[in-house]
Amino acid sequence: MADPVRVAVIDSGVHPGHPHILASRLLPGVAIHADGTLEQHQDAALDRLGHGTAVTAAIQELAPEALILPIRVFRDALRASPRALIAAMDWASGQGAHFINLSLGTTNPAHADHFAGAAARTAARIVAPRSAADDAPCWPGMLAGVIAVGLDWDVPRGTAQLRPDGVHYASGYPRPIEGIPQQRNLHGISFATAQVTGLAAAGLI
């Protein structure tokens, strides 16, 4: 029997008590500081922002059998240093991740080579946005070999469309919360990326 697929989620961590989270499929996680140092204890990857939990829920909805490796790089806000992201990618690779979900990136091309180095060091498939909200190129999503994601609100949620530009387009809506309109919930390219990761982890793309 094949080992379960491992998906590293580099984000704000995960809250295992959330009703949309399959806590039994969570592996012990870590936090990565801005300088790239690692923090590893029981609550290191506990989400205090909600973003990583919503991203993880979107992945688990489509790939419930996958094991999730939460890596917290966001602390007080949805910002992280390139050094932290690269350290997180390296750590995920060392933990045997098959996929690395990066619902984030940088539009600064000065960091492209560093992300390329991290991508070259891992056997995991990286899933990341191809561009930012203003259509600016985004790394590591611009790198060759990365599963690049684009946002299209008209794509049915839970599906993705691979188009001639080599980008997988998906909806930006996360898993719905009962009683809350989609537009008032978290939404955007982060959740298009998570859906593509979930579909890839389930072997559907």
Q: Is the pLDDT higher at 153 or at 182? A: 153
Using a pLDDT cut of 90, give the percent of the chain over it: 82
Q: How many whole angstroms separate alpha carbon 198 and alpha carbon 127?
A: 10
Q: In which band, very low, low, confident or very high, does the pLDDT at 76 lie, cut at 50, 70 and 90? A: confident
Residue 183, pLDDT score: 57
pLDDT, tens digit, for every residue of 86-122? Answer: 999 999 999 999 999 999 889 999 999 999 999 999 9
pLDDT, tens digit, for every residue of 13-24? Answer: 999 999 999 999
Question: Is the pTM here over 0.75, yes or no?
Answer: yes
Domains of the chain: 6-201 (3.40.50.200)
pLDDT, tens digit, for every residue of 40-69? Answer: 998 999 999 999 999 999 999 999 999 999
Per-residue pLDDT at 184 exceeds 80: no
The rounded mean pLDDT for the chain is 92
pLDDT, tens digit, for every residue of 123-181? Answer: 999 999 998 777 889 999 999 999 999 999 999 999 999 999 999 999 998 777 666 65
Residue 33, pLDDT score: 96
Residue 44, pLDDT score: 94
* Helix or strand run (H / E) with residue 146: none
Residue 78, pLDDT score: 83
